[in-house]
Amino acid sequence: MHVHVQGAASEAKFWLEPRVELAQNSGMDPRSLRIAKAIVEDNSDVFRDAWNRYFTR
């Protein structure tokens, strides 16, 4: 289970399970990564629910 976060010219992938963790970074600076991770952590339940609804149809 993961989410992708896109910036203007960058992208990062975060695992949602077993905890939010950076999986891949393509050009995102450290500050943007910290902000993105915090947003993913704050909304991880929403992302997990959406993932489960989409992939368990």
38, 39, 40, 29: which is closest to 7 by C-alpha? Answer: 29
47 pLDDT higher than 80:
yes
42 SS3 class: helix
Instruction: Give 2-42 pLDDT, tens digit per residue.
Output: 999 999 999 999 999 999 999 999 999 999 999 999 999 99
User: What pLDDT score was predicted for residue 57?
Assistant: 77
Q: What is the mean pLDDT of residues 31-55?
A: 96
Pairing of β 11-15 and β 21-26: antiparallel
Q: With contact defined as beta carbons under 8 Å apart, do 43 and 33 qualify?
A: no
